[in-house]
Amino acid sequence: MNVALGVGGGIAAYKAAELARALMERGFTVDVVMTRAAEEFIRPLTFAALTGRKVHTQLFSAASADDTLSSAIDHMRIAQEHELMVVAPATADLIAKFANGLADDLLTTTYLAFTGIVVVAPAMNTSMWNHPATQANMAKLRERGHVIVEPGEGLLACGVIGPGRLAEPEVIAEAVLAASRAKQPRQDLEGETILLTAGPTQEPIDGVRYISNRSSGKMGYAIAEEAAARGARVVLISGPVNLAPPKGVTMVAVRTALEMRQAVMDHLNEATIVIKAAAVADYHVANAPAQKVKKTAARLSLDLEPTPDILAEVGSKKGDRLVIGFAAETGDLVAEARRKLEQKNCDMIVGNVVSQPGAGEPATGFESDDNAVVLVTRSGETIPVERASKRAIAARILDEALRVRLALHASH
Ligand code: CTP
């Protein structure tokens, strides 16, 4: 796991070097982000030598205009590429900025852009630590769910004895390890190979035109991400979409229904679970010309022929696999989902209401980030899943799929 180590400007900054080493010993890759004040106490070179990685120091550090752009988006990149951020020593000033969302340097902007786990190890003089302002700020960080590694008591650099001393690097490193483990999703799909299709297909009409649909691929990609995070090996067969390939997933890019069918059949043997989230075109143009068709005054009809039903074919070769299909409907969702379940020999159908945004009601289905579905299972259940993010829906689909499999095995 990649950890961003934020170093604030305090006497304890030198201990951050020991912390970097302790984190690396626990298998973390450590990227250091220092404040200007931290550089007064310890040189970036120390961290660069220890971690073997570039040390990030300034929000605007560029010599050329191009560099300005790259350093100006550094905080976004650091925020995105790390799952955990530990700040040690966290000074009173940094804690105040974090608590109130101030962002005037690389570390504080990175913090604001960061959505992962945050571990804060404060260090400061006892009076500053006890000040109601600092305590109020700490309360905000605790409320936000950050992990706080409490400062110890002892003789501080200022000669005072009391709380404010940075916790020992080993203690902070253990807290980081515990926080990273707590975040790991359960690995209940370990050993599974999930063959997943997503996105639309494009069926050429001629050399430049095609028939397609509004599928964005977001639901399928969310399932791929969730399944991979839970330990599955995922083969994602994707039609053309504008989405980044999910991490840790084997991608197979296809365009047409025929290509998708071929890719699915090529990988079917490896699969223990097949999920067909793709919106496959039901028809394609028979013998589409390779050239662009020229305009004439005459009417033009397209001669459409059905594409192979991939899900039905998978259903017919099902074996021990769990097969899950989708049904995008504008009409009677549950009845249609159940009909498709039977017809295509599936274990579960995810029924998707494709709606247009109404008054005060955002759309679900194709392009939206949210979805609301009904799960119809082979064991006869109809499970409505309320509107939620596609990732949350993905998690629920996988939970129910595993449950359906257990139920089916038990009944045999
Ligand atoms: N599907 C498929 N191959 C096709 C068409 C559909 O594998 N040629 C799969 C989809 O991936 C989805 C399920 O079948 O998992 C249902 O797709 P949908 O378009 O809702 O249903 P159709 O069977 O095409 O029926 P209809 O168009 O009548 O609703």
- In order along its 412 residues, the chain shows pLDDT tens digits of 899 999 999 999 999 999 999 999 999 999 999 999 999 999 999 999 999 999 999 876 554 445 544 555 778 888 888 999 999 999 999 999 999 999 999 999 999 999 999 999 999 999 999 999 999 999 999 999 999 999 999 887 778 888 899 999 999 999 999 999 887 778 899 999 999 999 999 999 999 999 999 999 999 999 999 999 999 999 999 999 999 999 899 999 999 999 999 999 999 999 999 999 999 999 999 999 999 999 999 999 999 999 999 999 999 999 999 999 999 898 899 999 999 999 999 999 999 877 655 444 555 666 778 888 999 999 999 999 988 889 999 999 999 999 999 988 887 7
Atom of ligand 1 nearest to the CA of 352: 20
Q: Which of 121, 154, 127 is nearest to 15 (CA)?
A: 121
Kindly report the protein residue whose alpha carbon is nearest to atom 24 of ligand 1: 282
- The angle subtended at Cα 280 by Cα 272 and Cα 292, nearest 5°, is 140
386: CB partners within 8 A, 6+ apart: 372
Probe residue for ligand 1, chosen from 203, 261, 326 as the CB with the greatest number of ligand atoms within 8 Å: 326
User: What is the amino acid identity at position 306?
Assistant: P
From 197, 256, 260, 276, mutation site for ligand 1 pocket: most ligand atoms within 8 A of C-beta: 276
Q: Which atom of ligand 1 is nearest to the CA of 312?
A: 7
Pick the catalytic residue from 76, 155, 158, 161.
Answer: 158
Alpha-carbon span 217 to 238, nearest angstrom: 8
Q: Ligand 1 mean position to 311 CA, how many Å?
A: 7
Total residue length of the chain: 412
Distance between CA atoms of 350 and 261, rounded to whole angstroms? 20
What's the 301 CA to ligand 1 centre distance in angstroms? 24
Mark whether 346 is an active-site residue: no
Is the CB of residue 258 less than 8 Å from the CB of residue 284?
yes
| Residue 74 confidence (pLDDT) | 78
Ligand 1, atom nearest to 324 Cα: 15
- Output the CA 194–ligand 1 centroid distance in Å: 19
Residues whose CB falls within 8 Å of the CB of residue 157, separated by 6 or more in sequence, listed in order: 11
Ligand 1 binding site (Cβ under 6 Å of any ligand atom): 257, 276, 278, 280, 282, 307, 309-311, 325-328, 340
What domains are there in the chain, each with its CATH number? 2-182 (3.40.50.1950), 193-283+302-411 (3.40.50.10300)
List helix spans (H) across 33-105: 36-41, 44-51, 65-72, 74-81, 92-100
Determine if residue 120 is left, alpha or beta; phi over 0 gives left, psi from -120 to 50 gives alpha, anything else beta: beta
Minimal-distance CA residue to ligand 1 atom 8: 309
pLDDT of residue 363: 56
How far, in Å, from the CA of 282 to the mean position of ligand 1?
A: 7
How far apart are alpha carbons 121 and 176 in whole angstroms?
10
Widest pairwise Cα distance in the chain: 94
Alpha helices in 329-373 (DSSP H): 333-343
Q: Which atom of ligand 1 is nearest to the CA of 343?
A: 23
Q: Which atom of ligand 1 is nearest to the CA of 278?
A: 11
- Cβ distance 194 to 227 under 8 Å? yes
Task: Pick the closest to residue 257 from 276, 283, 235 (CA basis).
Answer: 283
> Tokens at residue 64, please?
């050329």
Helix/strand/coil for 325: strand
Q: Indicate the angle between helix axes 169-183 and 13-25, nearest 10 degrees.
A: 50
Residue 366: predicted pLDDT: 66
Q: Taking Cα atoms as reference points, which of 119, 89, 93 lies closest to residue 105?
A: 93
Q: Residue 277 Cα, ligand 1 centroid: separation in angstroms?
A: 9
Predicted TM-score (pTM) of this structure: 0.67
pLDDT at 306: 97
**Ligand 1 midpoint to CA 218 (Å):** 17
Residue nearest to atom 17 of ligand 1 (CA): 327
